Amino acid sequence: MSFKARYECFNGCPGAVYPLDEVIYRCRECGGLLDVVHDMDGLRGHDAATWKSIFDGRRGTTTWPYGSGVWSKKEWVLPGVDAEAIVSMCEGNTNLFWAERFGRELGMSDLWVKLCGNTHTGSFKDLGMTALVSQVNHMRRRGVNIPAVGCASTGDTSAALAAYCAAADIPAVVFLPADRISLAQLVQPLANGALVLSLDTDFDGCMKLIQDVVSRIPIYLANSMNSLRLEGQKTVAIEIVQQFDWEVPDWVIVPGGNLGNVYALGKGFLMMRELGLTRRLPRIVCAQAHNANPLYRAYRDGFATYAPMQAEQTLASAIQIGDPVSIHRAIRSLQAHDGVVEEATEDELMDASARADRTGMFCCPHTGVALAALIKLRANGTIGPKERTVVVSTAHGLKFADTKSAYHAGTLEGLACNQANPPVAMPPDADRVLDLLQERLKL
Ligand SMILES: *Cc1c(COP(=O)(O)O)cnc(C)c1O
Ligand SMILES: [Zn+2]
């Protein structure tokens, strides 16, 4: 059986149809974003039960390339990429765990966390990057002139791009905002041999610059305006449902910045329903940092208006974006999923993350934004006590050890650090240590 996908204009321009093997980012008619559209009739060549058993049968396999969480869904992701061109480091297949204690503290019995940061470069950006770099590798092998791949990034995209390009021996260039990303995020592309430009501007500034540059030289653009990545990112939705034995949860909460992921998640749920693997859709919550909340502002206004904003500094640095490229497709996806948008202040996101950590997690600040949204929506009754809720944890907490350490030291400027648990400095003296233990452990 053969499966096909192609680009179409997201705004539906008739005739705006392009092969995936073409270097193109926007519709030639209207300049709008492109969407990867699958031949659904072709995919219907297998019934729902067959797809489920194909996907279930690939779990944990070492048969190339199906051991990857993304490529185990290859026919639904990028069916036209040759298996030999795929650049994969076994991304995805991340754990989905029952957050029993944290859920209990919030008065809910069915809370789950999907740990998408437990993957190759420590963030869920790997899922999309394996798709994009594989497509680029496929095109290069067919003689398309792509001397390098580049992106502007708030840290995680560049780490993923650098790693996947290094694996395929493709030159990578990354544009980063100076002093606005974590040490771990900076060292990753350096270690993987990317050309790293540290620029005295914010993410939105880096984005404008790289778009200007790629219009003059043939560097392939890997930002999330590039719809290939979303095909990999959408597998989060499929994986969650598969992990629940093909049952759809009631709510899925994801932090949002450039908003490609809230769209991609929705796309995954819609595709499963369309092909009969599921019958309903979850409600989706997009959680934004108060300091970078253009989607939240539009939502408060019933999506009647939208205005880009100047994003303020947020510790959730990967979502410090004031002019999200995927705003319109995110809104469309939220509307299809009876969606909610919530926001979190700096105190709320760091405190929520620390509270969850006290129950055994180790959350990044973006996951903290999602958890703060969960706390609010549970407290105001939007999310019911028995509703099955999945929080998408987008990066590994260890990537943000600097921010988290500063929180526990109580040195984050302007923050209360309510849950700080600072280390106790002591002389190596048994009596003093005993006194302290008796006091602190109430012995
Ligand atoms: C990219 C990213 C997000 C947000 O995804 P968008 O598609 O930009 O909305 C959230 N968390 C982390 C850790 C990220 O790297
Ligand atoms: Zn168009």
E-strand stretches of 46-90: none
E-strand stretches of 331-430: 340-344, 389-393
Ligand 1 atom at minimal distance to the Cα of residue 233: 7
pLDDT for the residue 161:
97
pLDDT for the residue 125:
97
Tell me which amino acid residue 304 is: A
Compute the distance from residue 431 Cα to the ligand 1 centre, in Å.
49
Residues of the chain scoring pLDDT < 50: none
pLDDT for the residue 154:
81
The ligand placed nearest to the CA atom of residue 255 is 1
Q: How far is CA 381 from CA 91, 107, 110, 253, 343, in A?
A: 36, 11, 15, 15, 16
- The per-residue b/e assignment along 242-273, b for 16 or more CB within 10 angstroms, e otherwise, is bbeebebbebbbbbbbbbbbbbbbbbbbbbbe
> CA-CA distance, 125 to 258, in Å (whole number)?
12
The ligand placed nearest to the CA atom of residue 363 is 1
Please indicate whether residue 282, judged by its CB atom, sits closer than 6 Å to ligand 1. no
Compute the distance from residue 263 Cα to the ligand 2 centre, in Å.
18
Which string of DSSP letters, residue by residue, matches 364-379?
-HHHHHHHHHHHHHHH
pLDDT for the residue 214:
87
Q: Where are the domains of the chain?
A: 96-122+229-409
Burial (CB count within 10 angstroms: exposed 0-12, middle 13-18, buried 19+), residue 37 = middle
Please indicate whether residue 150, judged by its CB atom, sits closer than 6 Å to ligand 1. no
Region for residue 92 given its phi and psi (left: phi exceeds 0; alpha: psi -120 to 50; beta: otherwise)? left
Let me know how many helices (H) and strands (E) the chain has, helices first. Answer: 17, 13
pLDDT for the residue 313:
93
Distance of CA 386 to the CA centre of its chain: 26
Q: Which residue has the tokens 């809104």?
A: 331
pLDDT for the residue 172:
97
pLDDT for the residue 179:
81
Assigned CATH for 96-122+229-409: 3.40.50.1100
Please indicate whether residue 342, judged by its CB atom, sits closer than 6 Å to ligand 1. no
174-220: pLDDT as tens digits: 999 888 777 888 899 999 999 999 999 988 889 899 989 988 999 99
Please indicate whether residue 152, judged by its CB atom, sits closer than 6 Å to ligand 1. no
Ligand 1 atom 14: residue of nearest CA: 318
Q: Which residues pair with 390 in a beta bridge?
A: 112, 252
Is pTM beyond 0.85? Reply is yes
Please indicate whether residue 258, judged by its CB atom, sits closer than 6 Å to ligand 1. yes
Crossing angle, helix 156-168 and helix 183-191, to 10 degrees? 20
pLDDT for the residue 209:
93
